[in-house]
Chains A and B, each alone.
Chain A
Amino acid sequence: DGGITQSPKYLFRKEGQNVTLSCEQNLNHDAMYWYRQDPGQGLRLIYYSQIVNDFQKGDIAEGYSVSREKKESFPLTVTSAQKNPTAFYLCASSGAADTQYFGPGTRLTVL
Chain B
Amino acid sequence: QKEVEQNSGPLSVPEGAIASLNCTYSDRGSQSFFWYRQYSGKSPELIMSIYSNGDKEDGRFTAQLNKASQYVSLLIRDSQPSDSATYLCAVKIGGFQKLVFGTGTRLLVSP
Contact = CB atoms under 8 A, between A and B. Distances in A.
B17 interface: no
B1 interface: no
A104 B99 CA distance: 18
Nearest to B51: A98
A94 B43 CA distance: 16
Interface string A55-71: 00010000000000000
Contacts of B8: 40
Contacts of A42: 88, 101-104
A41 B103 contact: yes
Chain A interface main SS type: strand
A90 B43 contact: yes
A45 B97 CA distance: 12
Interface of B: 8, 32, 34, 36, 42-46, 49, 88, 90, 92, 96-99, 101-104
Contacts, number: 45
Contacts of B103: 40-42
A105 B42 contact: yes
A30 to B, nearest CB: 9
Contacts of B97: 31, 94, 98, 100
A48 to B, nearest CB: 7
Using C-beta atoms within 8 Å of the partner chain, give the interface range for chain A: 20 to 34
Name the 8 nearest CB pairs between A and B, nearest first.
Answer: A42-B103, A43-B101, A102-B43, A98-B32, A105-B43, A42-B101, A98-B97, A102-B44
A99 B45 CA distance: 11
A103 interface: yes
Contacts of B90: 100
B97 to A, nearest CB: 5
Nearest to A39: B103
Interface in A52-111: 58, 90, 94, 98-105
A100 B99 contact: yes
Contacts of A45: 98
